[in-house]
Amino acid sequence: MKIISINIKYFLWLLLSIILLSSCKNTSTTNENISLKEKLDKLKGAKSSTEQAEEKYKQVYKLMIEQPLDHNHPDGEKFLQKVYISHLDVDKPVVLSINGYSANKNRISELAKLLDANQVYVEHRFFGDSKPGNYDWNYLNMEQASADYHHIVALLKTIYHGKWISTGISKGGQTTIFYRYYYPKDVSASVPYVAPLNFSAQEPRVIDFLKKVGTKECRDKILAFQKMFLANRDILMPAFKKNAELKGYTFHLLGGIDKAYEYSILEYSFAFWQWQFVTCNEIPSRIDDPDKIMEHMNKVDCISFFSDESVNYFRPFFYQGLTEIGMYTYDTEPFGDLIKYAHNPNFKFTMPKGFENAPFNEKLMRSINKWLQNDSKNFVFIYGENDPWYSTGVRLIKGKTNNLLMIKKEGSHRTRIKSFTIDEQKQILDSLNRWIKQD
């Protein structure tokens, strides 16, 4: 009877162990089987919707995340910020792709492809669908925007376990820098593309740059075309007006079409070198066909910038440019009496009502520059040599940081990692992978 009793006890212990192990296994399986969408919807203040899968990403979601208008008072007014998530695996790296403007649709960044990473693509506050009900411009600043990204990353790190890398292009590149300044430990590395670091709302370095960029022959052709455009407005203005009507442009905010005519040709040299959509050989040297001159102007992309539609869309950018992140202006000296309406050109006409004379915070940009040159780490800065925004780009002090500055010879604002040689691309990716591994 004693032996039988021991066997029964052993049998019951064994049965209980099997039940407990089975229960643990089922619980684990249940947790693993929770869909990504369910995980996203469980995030505080977030709601997801399924987007069409693209490229190698089989799961893409749009996420609307609740943000405080003022992160210093998180219980106050809220707004929803738009985020796209392109998912591969929760253990792979995550690229935080920062859009400095509206994110009308999901875009897969170059970096996410190169690193075989998940991507989190974020629309900037006050743009697109990420607009607060209370349009208080005082809360459109780099500190508040950086807090937006910090909140998003903190939420998604509960789901994604890999290393994070931030990136952005142009104003998105600037925002990538500023975000790291406020939250240096949120990500392992950063790749800002063609990101200026301006110290003024009317950067004189841009004017100096445009006097030296490229070849003298090309600069002379640009100046000759600008003067020809201004000197022949009686011939070209009808075509300019016709082009505006066809494109649906109006220029009330700037101050009328005559002013737009001059601003567009003043913008010409900046736009020419920024985008390089045309070559020096394509610059017209005479007026044979006014309509073809306007086609050329449209191709260079120097007219639409001043239209009412464009100003209204880019107003948050202009506001930030004139208060924190900096802008440029135009040198009218070479044109003398040919200028009739734009004697003191500036971008104040783009500002929200009541903020036309808002001061520029130079101290913030100087502080960020000092941090970049002395204390930052794990940055790859990408620039095009002939891009006017490179004139105010980040300048590193040798030996102070491990940051990498990559400048594409004769490159434009369209310069990307793929623009460089195979060896240079390898240098960039080797640096990033080393930093990610070490962090």
Q: pLDDT tens digits for 224-251? A: 999 999 999 999 999 999 999 999 999 9
Band of the pLDDT at 32, cuts 50, 70, 90? very low
Question: Considering the chain, what percentage of its residues have pLDDT values greater than 70?
Answer: 92
Q: pLDDT tens digits for 297-351? A: 999 999 999 999 999 999 999 999 999 999 999 999 999 999 999 999 999 999 9
**How far apart, in whole angstroms, are the C-alpha atoms of residue 202 and residue 326?**
7
List all residues 6 or more positions away from 106 whose beta carbon is below 8 Å from its beta carbon: 51, 54, 60, 62, 84, 86, 121
pLDDT for 13: 56
Cβ–Cβ < 8 Å for 54, 86: yes
For 39-196+363-438, CATH gives 3.40.50.1820
Cα 321 to the chain's mean position, in Å?
Answer: 14
Q: pLDDT tens digits for 175-219? A: 999 999 999 999 999 999 999 999 999 999 999 999 999 999 999
Neighbours of 79 (CB within 10 A): 20
Q: pLDDT tens digits for 157-183? A: 999 999 999 999 999 999 999 999 999
Band of the pLDDT at 34, cuts 50, 70, 90? confident
In the numeric block, the tokens 């970096």 are attached to 111
pTM of the model: 0.91
Domain boundaries, the chain: 39-196+363-438, 204-350
Band of the pLDDT at 19, cuts 50, 70, 90? very low
Band of the pLDDT at 127, cuts 50, 70, 90? very high
What is each CA distance from 207 to 280, 348, 391, in whole angstroms?
Answer: 19, 18, 9
Band of the pLDDT at 4, cuts 50, 70, 90? very low
If we measure between CA atoms, which residue out of 331, 304, 349 comes closest to residue 206?
Answer: 331
pLDDT for 58: 87
pLDDT for 31: 44
Higher pLDDT, 268 or 25: 268
pLDDT for 27: 39
pLDDT for 12: 52
**Farthest CA pair distance, the chain:** 119
- Compute the mean pLDDT over every residue in the chain, rounded to the nearest whole number: 93
